[in-house]
Amino acid sequence: MAGEQARTASESQAQGTTNATARIQELGRAAEPYVIAQRRYFHQHPELSLQEVGTTEAIARELDAMRIPYERPLDTGLVATLAGTAPDAYREDGSPRRRLLIRADIDALAVTERTGVPFASERAGVMHACGHDCHIAMQLGALRVLAQMTDALHGEVRAVFQPSEENGQGARMMIDAGVLDGVDGAYAAHIWSEVDAGTISCEAGPRMANTDWFRVDVRGTSCHGAMPQRGADAIVAAAEIVNNLQTIVSRDLSPYEPAVVTVGELHGGTARNVIAGTAHLTGTVRTYSDTAHEAMPKLIARIAQHTAAALGAEAELTDYTVAHGAVVNDEAASARCRRAIERVLGPEAVGCYRGTLSGEDFSEVLRRVPGVLAFVGTRNPALGATFAQHSCFYRVDESVLVKGAMLAAQYAVDFLAE
């Protein structure tokens, strides 16, 4: 008898999942124009990290229209709560049976747009060049779908619209404000230019890198540009440090250890005919493994110090900041995400991607609760959607946005039904 009851319950759950998927597909198709319109609005009105005031207000208006309650724990960004109405969604004490956090980041970059699209940025020098406008639109689309089928939610969805991802502060700020309290799992998606449009990658394990920032200060001796023998050129020393830092990856780390050392800034000098007495350089380090991550500060300091000394100057690693850790997808969450892709979009939508040494502060969430970050592919040469994230020419294939919204909705239904 017990076996029969268990089998009946399993069959009922499977039927419920099938019905929920059909509803997601139907509601998703109806929501596609809405999702695209939202993406274009936010693309036209980008705001930098911690300045997302208008963006937050626009999101709030959409949530008000959906009658979804929300809170504003920070100056920008907000947290919405979508309560399930399935019979077992809440316990007798009022707590949800399960709670899933879904996240969309909302900030833009200091990039001057050159795409030429009709809905290009209206704010000079600011652009959604990393797809966060798409993330907002996809999450609003998922909420729009789920708000019409709360009877399929056996728990609660906590939707976080997070500020300040680009400078690595937002996730920690939201976590400190309590967004992970009572959370059982987490889901996020990132539009990605290296994954083909129509496919979504959600493999388990490391997906994005540890992200660190560093600064090296160089001190030489200034003198007249016509008398270089009288001084020690800080610019020459800094330039040699830039070159020699590249040997960390090629000579200090195993070939099996993915890593990047990038110097993005080099400043020095005060006049064209003066040997510079000071210079400084700043950069970023990306690694996957703990071993490489821990070794980097000492390696950079050693190379900077000894390279400068060889040229009669001095150098010091004056700042080394760990911005955030690597994004590591939980194995069970990744498997659940793959099943959700197959259900709502079909097996052909399951993508394959090796991962990237780009960084993402959703890692701070995944360090604390099991979850998954999915890469929603947007690469489509026919539409010019081939440029990398952070490019002033960055474009997306907007047909993928509703797919991302539908996947988020399916993942939420599946997670809360477990």
Residue range 287-298: mean pLDDT, rounded? 95
Whether 214 and 174 share a structural domain: no
Residue range 17-43: mean pLDDT, rounded? 96
251 burial via Cβ count (<10 Å: 0-12, 13-18, 19+): exposed
- 5 SS3 class: helix
- 51 SS3 class: coil
What's the pLDDT score for residue 7?
54
Whether 71 and 153 share a structural domain: yes
pLDDT of 11 over the 60 cut = no
Give the percent of the chain with pLDDT over 70: 96
What's the pLDDT score for residue 15?
62
Whether 139 and 261 share a structural domain: no
Across all residues in the chain, what is the average pLDDT?
95
Q: What is the pLDDT of residues 329-388, one digit of tens each?
A: 999 999 999 999 999 999 999 999 999 999 999 999 999 999 999 999 999 999 999 999
What's the pLDDT score for residue 340?
98
Interatomic CA distance for residues 64 and 44, integer angstroms: 21
Whether 185 and 100 share a structural domain: yes
Whether 194 and 118 share a structural domain: yes
| Annotated binding-site positions for Mn(2+) | 130, 132, 166, 190, 390
Q: What is the pLDDT of residues 76-98, one digit of tens each?
A: 999 999 999 999 999 999 999 99
Whether 195 and 217 share a structural domain: no
Angle at 400 between CA 56 and CA 335, to 5 degrees: 95
pLDDT of 276 over the 90 cut = yes
Q: Which residue has the higher pLDDT, 175 or 10?
A: 175
Residue range 180-186: mean pLDDT, rounded? 98
CATH number at residue 348: 3.40.630.10
Q: What is the pLDDT of residues 297-330, one digit of tens each?
A: 999 999 999 999 999 999 999 999 998 999 999 9
What's the pLDDT score for residue 18?
80
Whether 152 and 223 share a structural domain: no
Categorize the per-residue pLDDT at 17 as very low, low, confident or very high, splitting at 50, 70 and 90: confident
What's the pLDDT score for residue 4?
58
Number of domains in the chain: 2
Residue range 140-156: mean pLDDT, rounded? 98
CA within 13 Å, CB half, 112? 2
Asked which of 302, 324, 346 is the last residue of a domain, the reply is: 324
What's the pLDDT score for residue 9?
45
Residue range 212-224: mean pLDDT, rounded? 97
Interatomic CA distance for residues 137 and 134, integer angstroms: 5
Q: What is the pLDDT of residues 369-379, one digit of tens each?
A: 999 999 999 99
Whether 396 and 316 share a structural domain: no
| Annotated binding-site positions | 130, 132, 166, 190, 390
Q: What is the pLDDT of residues 263-274, one digit of tens each?
A: 999 999 999 999
What's the pLDDT score for residue 392?
98
Whether 19 and 148 share a structural domain: yes
Categorize the per-residue pLDDT at 6 as very low, low, confident or very high, splitting at 50, 70 and 90: very low
Whether 58 and 193 share a structural domain: yes
Asked which of 295, 324, 353 is the last residue of a domain, the reply is: 324
Give the residue among 235, 228, 299 at the shortest CA–CA distance from 270: 235
Asked which of 300, 324, 348 is the last residue of a domain, the reply is: 324
Whether 81 and 202 share a structural domain: yes
What's the pLDDT score for residue 101?
98
> Domain span at residue 218?
210-324
Whether 303 and 344 share a structural domain: no
Going across the sheet that includes 259-268, the strands are: 259-268, 278-287, 210-219, 314-324
